[in-house]
Amino acid sequence: MIVALVVIAIQGCAVTPPQAPFEQAGTSQRIVVAPARYDPESNFSTFARGYLTGAGKGAAEGAATGAIAGGVSSLMLGPFAPLVAPFLIAGGAAIGGVGGSAYGAAKSVPEQDAKAIDRMLNGAVAGLRLQEAMGKATVTAASTFTPYRAELAMDIGPVSKSESPDYHSLQGRGIGTVIEVRVVQLGFEGGGGKDPEISFFLTAEARMIDTVNSKATWARGLAYQSPEFRASRWAEREGALLRLELIRAYVTLAERIVESFMLGAGFSPRTTMGPWPAHDFVCGLVPTEPKLEWEGNWLEHTLRPARAEVGSYKPTVAWQTFPPADMARKEPDLRTAQEVRYDLRIWREVGGAAEELVYERLALVTPRHTLETALAPSTGYLWSVRPRFTLAGKPRAWRWSASDERWPDVEQQVQDAVYFGSPWDERRYGELLIGALSGGRVPQAGKGDFTPCRYLDFIPPPNYFRFRTPPM
């Protein structure tokens, strides 16, 4: 049984443990990633809330539809680009009757839009082998961001939700750790109405298993949620937006698996910005250029980084040096950090959301970088940075930096999916954790815990740092 951990945050404390879960296992450094071999569930309850009639009707009619074409390159995230393209193919069986739930939503959206959404759902996921894609993305993240090398094993993962395979035989092949990944559920959530604003979500689970006894030594429940868009927008261009969000979802969660299991970045330290009560927190490293300013209302939980104006198409961005002085005082071990490097990502902003990754630099050696390629004029951009380093020779990272303001739009599906399970007690790392046996789930304190520092596995659009380039 996995020990669940109830987490009570202590403001401003670092949480980088001296050992990552992978090292806690005490196994060899040969790793196998084993994706599940069954289809994830779908739950398009946005369409079902009081509107759905004839659920399932469209699964048969729409199963063969949907060309996977175009619009995908904007979500090919840096090192993940080579693994994305092979999974975006036309044809194949739809996952779990995905499209059928939407077809009967004639009362929720106009009939023509309902049929278009049905075609879109089936087409967008028909050729995307999500379990395999999740496994490959996890292998890529491990190889890109850690010194460890993981191998993909498609034929050993669970074939059903209830199966827990015995991996003990892998020990004889020199494999000490199995990271089992499962895409659990995907669907839409949001409001009702004729053309409702809805968000896409995807949930997953990962277990780290010691092949000595085939027992899980660590487990994570993870979730991704997109920004909200009109149902008609999701149906445009044969579901191009959904395909992009699918890729963004499994790549984001694969990175979180590697951060949590191999880099000790389960949570993130917070830095207070401004006087109480009109203050906000920043997860990880604080930007220093462009200057970080705030907009919105703290009491209404709308406080967010304001858009800075930069004077160049090749702007300079800068951030705190790692380790920040205040964190080093609280966590003396951070003073011994070696091989400090910084990862930088910049996305083009469209409608307030991060649409396209336009610039990425990994393993920068200084906390300041002038872009080497020009950005578009009069365009908004979102950005984030994180440090990677070693402690006692072991790889570590902090999470990607962002505002830690809670996201009020987090859906119940996302809250229910997230959990941490571990046999170890992290109290010495700046968290007060109370062990509780609850089936591996974390009893949540409410939406206030779902921030980029805490339980969110992704950065909501309002929480990114942002700037705008000058006009032509």
What residues does each domain of the chain span?
21-262, 265-409+450-468
* Least confident segment among 317-321, 335-339, 452-456: 452-456
Give the C-alpha distances (Å, rounded to integers) separating 371 from 105, 115, 379, 383, 467: 47, 45, 15, 12, 13
pLDDT band at 15 (very low <50, low <70, confident <90, very high): very low
Mean pLDDT, residues 107-135 taken together: 66
Structural Rg of the chain based on CA atoms: 22
Give CA–CA dist 377/383, Å, rounded: 16
* Residue 181: band (very low, low, confident or very high) from pLDDT cuts 50, 70, 90: very high
Please give the mean pLDDT across all residues of the chain.
75
Write the CA distances from 304 to 301, 400, 459, integer angstroms. 9, 16, 12
The DSSP bridge partners found for residue 289 are 318
> 177-190 and 41-42 as β-strands: parallel, antiparallel, unpaired?
parallel
Give the separation between CA 30 and CA 176, rounded to whole angstroms.
6
What are 438-455's pLDDT values in tens digits? 334 444 434 557 888 888
As a residue count, the chain comes to 472
Predicted confidence (pLDDT) per residue in 55-70, tens digit = 333 333 333 223 222 3
Give the model's pLDDT for residue 403.
Answer: 92
Q: Which homologous superfamily does the CATH classification assign to the domain defined by 265-409+450-468?
A: Immunoglobulins (2.60.40.10)
* pLDDT interval class at 355 (50, 70, 90): confident
Secondary structure (H, E, C), the chain: CCCEEEEECCCCCCCCCCCCHHHHCCCCCCEEEEECCCCCEECCHHHHCCCCCCCCHHHHHHCCCCCCCCCCHHHCCHHHHHHHHHHCCCCCCCHHHCCHHHHCCCCCCCHHHHHHHHHHHHHHHHCCCHHHHHHHHHHHHHHHHCCCCEEECCCCCCCCCCCCCCCHHHHHHCCCEEEEEEEEEEEEEECCCCCCEEEEEEEEEEEEEECCCCEEEEEEEEEEECCCEEHHHHHHHHHHHHHHHHHHHHHHHHHHHHHHHHCCCCCCCEEEECCCCCCEEEECCCEEECCCCEECCCCCCCCEECEEECCCCCCEEEECCCCCHHHHHHCHHHHHCEEEEEEEEEEEEECCEEEEEEEEEEEECCCEEECCCCCCCCCEEEEEEEEEEEECCEEEECCCCEECCCCCCCCHHHHHHCEEECCCCCHHHCCEEEEECCCCCCCCCCHHHCCCCCCCCCCCHHHCEEEECCCC
Q: Please compute the mean of the pLDDT values over residues 169-173 and round it to a whole number.
A: 89
pLDDT at 5: 29
Task: Report residue 72's pLDDT band, with 50, 70 and 90 as the boundaries.
Answer: very low
**Cα distance between residue 447 and residue 68, in whole Å:** 36
Burial state string for 269-284 with b = 16 or more CB within 10 A and e = fewer than 16: bbbebeeeeeebbbbb
Q: How high is the pLDDT of residue 198?
A: 87
Around Cβ 297, how many Cβ atoms within 10 Å?
Answer: 10
* Cβ-based neighbours of 252, under 8 Å, separated by 6 or more: 224, 457, 458
